[in-house]
Structure 1
Amino acid sequence: MLKFLSAQPPLNLWLIFLAENLLVTGIGLFAGWLILKLSKRPIRPASRTEILTCTGTNLINTAITYLGFWLLQRGYLVFGFEVNWHIVPDFLLLFIAMDLAMYVLHYAINHMSIYNVVHKFHHHYHNPIPIDLFVLHPLETLSFGGLWLITLAIYNFNFYAVLLYLTLNVVFGIVGHLGIGPLPAKLRDSFLLKYLGTSSFHHGHHTDIKHNYGFYTSIWDRMFGTYKA
């Protein structure tokens, strides 16, 4: 695959990466819609602003993907492609590292004057639907993208661990913007899941910006006193 991509002219690469981002977005939104449909919850239609912003976010994410591939070609990013036991610890390291980094960035954005310019745009939707995962100010999308590339540049992760992380990133993002808890309360409160960033956990942040800044877990909120059940 890397040989195929490396042989492509820039325009083809851009189109391939754009198609990839749109496909991931489409699958995620369909899955979110299906969950809401099966739960028999009223689903409000996405507004024109949400649709246009989601499209813009995909264009920016395509540029970030293109930059990541450019860095990979020049050795600034290095991946291992072996299928071995390193996949598990690499995934766990990436999952925890990104969760902490995004917690810090999310907390900072919510407590700086830049909030009114950048992050308040996302919080315009107090009762989010899945598409709102992609309704972000361009500067915020670029910030998270830059954080992602910096994390990959610091450590040589296994490529399959990165793919697993990216898959779960979309899953957590869609679940966090359902506005409902798709799992039974008993299961959500189990030892294995109680520290994960559930839909109700992130929904709590949309209704109260002073709490629940974590993305994948509630660990850092519990540790730093920003957790709210």
Structure 2
Amino acid sequence: MDTLLNTLQNWPSWLLWIIFLAENTAILVGVLAWGNRLQRKSHHMFAYTRRQWRIAAVTTILNTVITYAGYWLWTQDAIRLTTAFSGRILLDACFLFFAMDFLMYVFHYVIHKTPLYQLLHTLHHKAVDPEPIDLFILHPLETLSFGALWLLLLLLFPLNIYGIIIYLIINVIFGMTGHLGMEPLPANVRQWPVLKYLGTSTFHHTHHRNEQCNFGFYTSIWDRVFHTFNR
């Protein structure tokens, strides 16, 4: 990993832009493909509109900008990475998971309770019953705001690169799950001691149908703490 990171610093910017765009495009395609695979089991398939594809493409481009911004901050030593195989991998992944969960809860709640809702968030909430592509149906300023929260967190102190990768994979999985439009987990499984506190598809689907509850992303912890939780 050290060799790869050192190599990245020597690659031309145009090549990095292509790589980062390909990475974010692969995430978009992967989410839609896996979402449709799960949907086939429930005999329901999505047909996305040209408008949805255009907005998703813009979101993918902006995510590429955020990725490059993170790379640039790293080259300036503002973002510091460690590469050791140690307990820090799991620790940093957990830190990012819970810290981002809290920050996104606060940001999401503020959006819903202020004029920012009309400016930024109505686009996403046009989907009362979300589909996998709705993960990428966001106002450009909202996409950049979430990206800014992520980059600010990375600026705090050195983080393990493997922990970051684990968190990013989990982030995509939760984003896709929250916008499936169906629940892949049986009701009794969702009540298991740990799973009952996670942001399942049902949890986020309920938010799309009732915008006064379930503002969390990965967990329902903050909704339970601040009394905005709805089963």
Number of equivalenced pairs: 228
Quick one: distance in 1 between partners of 2:156 and 2:6?
A: 24
Q: Percent identity?
A: 45
Equivalent of 1:12 in 9, 12, 15: 15
Quick one: distance in 2 between partners of 1:28 and 1:122?
A: 17
- What are the Cα deviations for residues 148-184 of structure 1, in whole angstroms up to 9, with x where unaligned? 0000101211110100000010000000001111011
Question: Which AA in structure 1 matches 2:223?
Answer: D
Equivalent of 2:65 in 54, 63, 66: 63
TM-score for both structures, normalised by structure 2: 0.96
Query: In the alignment, which residue of structure 1 is the partner of 2:191?
Result: 189
Question: Which AA in structure 2 matches 1:153?
Answer: L
Matched, 1:96 2:102: no
What runs of 5+ residues in structure 1 fail to find an aligned partner? none
Query: In the alignment, which residue of structure 2 is the partner of 1:217?
Result: 219
Shift of 1:105: 0.3
What runs of 5+ residues in structure 2 fail to find an aligned partner? none
Matched, 1:22 2:25: yes
Which deviates more from structure 2 when the two are superposed, residues 51-60 or residues 9-18?
9-18
Equivalent of 2:200 in 177, 198, 201: 198
Shift of 1:88: 1.1
Shift of 1:49: 1.3
Query: In the alignment, which residue of structure 2 is the partner of 1:31?
Result: 34
Shift of 1:53: 0.5
Matched, 1:160 2:165: no
> 1:66-81 residue pairs with structure 2 within 5 A?
66-81=68-83
Superposed structure 1 runs of 4+ greater than 3 Å apart: none
Question: Which AA in structure 1 matches 2:129?
Answer: N
Query: In the alignment, which residue of structure 1 is the partner of 2:140?
Result: 138
SS of 1:14's equivalent in the other structure is helix
Question: Which AA in structure 2 matches 1:12?
Answer: L
Shift of 1:48: 1.3
Quick one: distance in 2 between partners of 1:228 and 1:43?
A: 28
Quick one: distance in 2 between partners of 1:30 and 1:16?
A: 21
Query: In the alignment, which residue of structure 2 is the partner of 1:2?
Result: 5
Quick one: distance in 1 between partners of 2:216 and 2:159?
A: 23
Query: In the alignment, which residue of structure 1 is the partner of 2:110?
Result: 108
